[in-house]
A and B are shown apart, each in its own frame.
Chain A
């Protein structure tokens, strides 16, 4: 199974799958055929815990009739990878460093990693 296929099948199953390099223990996102840290090729798959925090974000401004403002965020997962995602809710309530939980939701009918603010 190719890296992309394995990741997409994970999303379809409601899992956020990350690769982990057997040689240097680095977690890897986006999926690929080698480790960008040590260039090893012995990669295994793990399921992300979902724990993470907002590294940075922006509110993309859009007219209400086109759907209104929305959040685009960079979230760092506990495993050490960073990915683009979206934090649910009021875009103005998002803060750098805010703890979030990543989950598999959907955007326009396609499974995608989304985040919600973690309960304190």
Chain B
């Protein structure tokens, strides 16, 4: 039996702004430019927005600040901050809110100037008190320890991690929006400066400016908009911890559960998906998520990504825009996984557009592998 919320909402607008570098603009400026772009794409205006979903690093009440900046008075807001997964999480809460009539036009938006403003990640929270004294370099050290454990347990190699970075750059090299487009090799990744072993500089995401926004409406209204609607078929979350030291098993993420429920809600299986947009803050993320989402067995992710399987021309297209490793990573990436997934279904990807995409997966990750949210998006044919 269909899940009550399957296909009940649709993405009708997509917008980005300030990707790469946007010197002088505040994060709120970039958020607002993204929002305007997404609304224009949907044939709507800010005055039509009555549901606002926003997470930002700059303010502890970001959704209120966003409404103030945009000059709107939404009747439903959600500013739940689960790190970079927040925006994929909003697909679930916005769908529920739209279906329940709490709002009619949901705007999900984000912006960040972290590259030109500070040159490094702005963090919204203090280090956990029982971890801070040891000076882990967050977030990279948390992911590095997950990678180290995966290598110990399954024999995953730095070369296999490097293949993830090479694949991302391969996609980015075709995307004019991508910040890093020069092709790289395994050797380049292995030779790059080490940051937190076993992760080197090219195993880490970019630090860029940028914003993204999407507009959702109820599915019954979606066809009134100019662009091909992209339906939310499934969306599910699970969180396991906040502090990496409390992660139950460093080689298994909550994506196993979020993925299982998202697939069940959508009524599809992993092999049905045409393209995957996974949250690649670090190369190890992709290996963990491919395993946990059911694309290979636990421990086989390293071998799975070898030989260009997830690169352009490979059997499983992953992060077709270049991802956080090569396209953009303005602190939180989740919104961009949704935007690229939706573009691929619409046939409007800024980089390499795949043929015949009906089902796309967008996966968000937040904290230090703490929060996992999986969404399945589909074309009208999949309803």
Contact = CB atoms under 8 A, between A and B. Distances in A.
B197 A85 contact: no
A115 B262 CA distance: 42
The 7 closest A-B pairs by CB, nearest first: A56-B149, A58-B144, A96-B152, A59-B197, A56-B145, A84-B245, A84-B131
Contact of B145 (A72, A110, A112): A72
Given A61-B193, A84-B136, A85-B134, A56 B245 contact: no
Interface string B181-215: 00000000000011111110000000000000000
B133 A58 contact: no
Interface of B: 129-131, 133-137, 141, 144-146, 148-149, 152, 193-199, 243-246, 250
Contacts of A29: 130
Binding site secondary structure of chain A: strand
B133 A60 contact: no
Nearest to B151: A96
Interface of A: 29-30, 55-61, 70, 72, 74, 82-86, 91, 96-97, 107-108, 110, 112
A57 B243 CA distance: 15
B152 A56 contact: yes
A110 B245 contact: no
B245 A83 contact: yes
A104 to B, nearest CB: 12
B306 to A, nearest CB: 23
Nearest to B250: A56
Contacts, number: 72
A72 B146 contact: no
Given A83-B130, A84-B136, A107-B134, 16 more contacts: A29-B130, A56-B250, A58-B148, A58-B196, A60-B196, A61-B195, A72-B134, A72-B135, A72-B196, A74-B245, A74-B250, A82-B245, A84-B131, A91-B197, A96-B148, A112-B133
B193 A97 contact: no
B24 to A, nearest CB: 31
Contact of B148 (A57, A82, A85, A112): A57
Which of A84, A91, A112: most chain B Cβ within 10 A?
A84
